[in-house]
Amino acid sequence: MPARSRLRYLSALALLACLFPTATQADGGQVFGHSVRGRPIVVFENGRPPARLKVLVVGAIHGDETAGMRIARRLIAAGPPARTKFLVVPTINPDGVAAGTRGNAHGVDLNRNFPYRWRPLAGSEYSGTGPFSEPETRAAYGLILREKPDLTIWFHQPFGLIDRPNGNPFAAQRFADLIGLPLVRLPGPYPGSASRWQTHEFPQSTAFVAELPQTVSGPLIRRGTAAVRTLAADLASPAVLSIP
């Protein structure tokens, strides 16, 4: 299938997975969990062993911040560079994507539902009844625990920046340079966030947030896709023994 046709096909499949709970598998994607409404949460795995680097990309965790799904679909179509394995999740919040809402079908902000510094929050950042109270976050936890990715990128909107993670910012800085967005430490505490939980729980790996702007152009999507692949290739190079 030509690359452009495959990209359109994957876009349609991702939309169908959000709209219809009955889907179980899509063109090589593996279901690793289900949403509150029973919609599948799918990961697309691509890479040839031996892979020196395992990269997880999550296109959307908030259902009203979906531009990263466009990058995810392009990564699925393009595949990983040499010596890397890609794990691409278009969204872990298919109910929110279908409804156009930040939270899941319980109204929970999934990016406040992870254990690190979790606390009860109400309103638009309702954090649930406790850490991992939601099936979507439990599914993400299971995937991360099983795969132990070396690098994880969580796409968000609308700030137009790359959040500087705790520890060595080498990977985030390189990604910021490649995509053309500034590296800035978001000032909020963000209790229960996915990337900060990963950084705390798996300090040997790197996880950071890529905040795309509110309005995202085609060139930025293409640049973001290329940035993920270039960063992965750089980190998997024989000259690099591990992520700094």
Q: Domain boundaries in the chain? A: 3-17+27-86+93-210+219-236
pLDDT of residue 102 exceeding 70:
yes
Contact, 149 vs 87, CB < 8 A? Answer: yes
Contact, 66 vs 102, CB < 8 A? Answer: no
Selection from 136, 90, 84 nearest residue 111 by Cα? 136
CA-angle at 68, arms to 64 and 69, nearest 5°: 85
Selection from 116, 77, 111, 75 nearest residue 96 by Cα? 111
Q: What is the pLDDT of residue 16?
A: 46
pLDDT of residue 237 exceeding 80:
yes
Contact, 18 vs 94, CB < 8 A? Answer: yes
Q: Please give the residue that has the higher pLDDT: either 238 or 186.
A: 186
- 99-114 average pLDDT score: 98
Environment class of 149 (CB within 10 Å of its CB; exposed 0-12, middle 13-18, buried 19+): buried
pLDDT of residue 119 exceeding 60:
yes
Lowest mean pLDDT of 49-53, 73-77, 231-235, name the range.
49-53
- 173-183 average pLDDT score: 98
- 39-51 average pLDDT score: 91
- 198-202 average pLDDT score: 94
Q: What is the pLDDT of residue 4?
A: 53
Cα–Cα distance, 150 to 206 (Å, whole number): 6
- 49-60 average pLDDT score: 93
Cα–Cα distance, 217 to 109 (Å, whole number): 26
127-155 per-position pLDDT tens digit: 999 999 999 999 999 999 999 999 999 99
What strand order describes the sheet that includes 53-58? 25-26, 29-34, 40-46, 84-89, 53-58, 151-156, 206-213, 159-163, 183-184
Does residue 20 sit in helix, strand or coil? coil
pLDDT of residue 203 exceeding 80:
yes
Q: Which residues of 89-119 are buried (b: 16+ CB within 10 A; e: fewer)?
A: bbbbbbbbbbbebbbbbbebbbbbbbebebe
Residues written for the chain = 244
Close Cβ partners of 4 (under 8 Å, ≥ 6 residues apart): none
166 band by pLDDT with thresholds 50, 70 and 90? confident
Does residue 31 sit in helix, strand or coil? strand
Q: Which fold has domain 3-17+27-86+93-210+219-236?
A: Aminopeptidase (3.40.630)
pLDDT of residue 25 exceeding 60:
no
> Chain-wide mean pLDDT for the chain?
90
Cα–Cα distance, 34 to 36 (Å, whole number): 7
